[in-house]
Structure 1
Amino acid sequence: MAGEMMFENPTRGRLTFHGMFRELLAYLSEDPEARYKLIVGTDSHTRTETLFVTAVVIHRIGHGGRFFFHKATHRAVRSLRQKILYETSVSLGVAARLTELLQASGQGDLDIEIHIDVGEQGETKDLIREIVGMVTGSGYHASIKPDSFGASKVADRYTK
């Protein structure tokens, strides 16, 4: 990844990684008593190239949330396993940066959940153990379909 990772938000427009993080903190400070879940998920779509979209969702449980997304294009990735591994490693990289920043800002108790675009239905079911192990081994909670809306709904919307 050359340069700063840029994120987009439908309301705030284009933001740097740190700008996106400042928006997250501002959202948390609006209602500090609420319960939150921070979700990172990546999805991809291949045409002539593969477009990877990583979503960062801050969910105020029971009261909606905000989301940000980053788009990156790579040469076409045809192997489903390679694509899922890459999606997951991008999500883990973003989660690691968020974890560092959260700890530095006194929000280290906010759990980050990684949403993976795999599920028991379809051709990704053989990858579940490996990919979930990769996520949990990195210290994060893993969600798969149908619960992985960060990847399968939010990120997916921006790959089309």
Structure 2
Amino acid sequence: MHSPTYGNISFEDMISKIKNFISKSPNSEYNISVGTDSQNFDYTKTVIVVSVYRRGHGGIFFYDIKNVKRINNLMQKLFYETSTSLEIAIKLLKAFEEEKINLGISIHVDAGNNGSTSKFIREITGWVNSYGFDCETKPNSYAASSIADKFSK
């Protein structure tokens, strides 16, 4: 993973940084989000983001970049982004349980009611919810549609 604050770190170090961030203000409310966005070049550049937002007081985020064979089909690309987010969220949830961090995780999907992705929202949100995660879509899916988008270009 990479962080603008901490540089290149391992997944385990990211968990430690999140735990430390939360411990500085344990009574605050937190939103932990995982989102993925991708852009096509000769390949598909995929950016996965883990965002930890302390309500009213900013936050930290981490991201990872994966390059995969070009995905041209919009539905396949959106499902790939969502499966990548789910994979990281499940791994995060297990690490949080081990560290006694009792916070929910939401999945941010780069899809919205306006545009070509709108027809996939019901399937995607149902899929994410079936794993026990909340699902946010545009305009509320900032981890995917803002942070990941910035690094995917």
TM-score (norm 2): 0.98
Distance 1:35 1:41 in 2: 20
Match among 71, 75, 79 for residue 81 of structure 1: 75
The answer to whether the aligner puts 1:115 opposite 2:85 as a matched pair is no
| Residue 48 (structure 1) shift | 0.5
Match among 94, 102, 107 for residue 88 of structure 2: 94
SS of the equivalent of 1:119 reads coil
Partner of 1:30: 24
Partner of 2:124: 131
Distance 1:105 1:13 in 2: 22
| Residue 11 (structure 1) shift | 1.6
TM-score (norm 1): 0.94
Distance 1:99 1:10 in 2: 23
| Residue 21 (structure 1) shift | 1.0
Distance 2:43 2:56 in 1: 38
Identity %, equivalent residues: 37
Partner of 1:144: 137
Distance 2:103 2:5 in 1: 24
SS of the equivalent of 1:98 reads helix
Distance 2:5 2:51 in 1: 14
The answer to whether the aligner puts 1:154 opposite 2:126 as a matched pair is no
Cα deviation, 1:16-36, whole Å, max 9, x if unaligned, reads 111111111110111111111
* Poorly superposed stretches of 4+, deviation over 3 Å: none
Partner of 1:51: 45
Cα deviation, 1:126-158, whole Å, max 9, x if unaligned, reads 000000011000100000000000000000100
Aligned pairs, number: 153
- Cα RMSD, aligned residues only: 0.6
SS of the equivalent of 2:14 reads helix
SS of the equivalent of 2:144 reads helix
User: Which amino acid in structure 1 is aligned with residue 37 of structure 2?
Assistant: D
| Residue 37 (structure 1) shift | 1.0
User: Which amino acid in structure 1 is aligned with residue 116 of structure 2?
Assistant: E
SS of the equivalent of 1:154 reads helix
User: Which amino acid in structure 1 is aligned with residue 118 of structure 2?
Assistant: K
Unaligned runs of 5+ in 2: none
Partner of 1:14: 8
Distance 2:74 2:12 in 1: 32
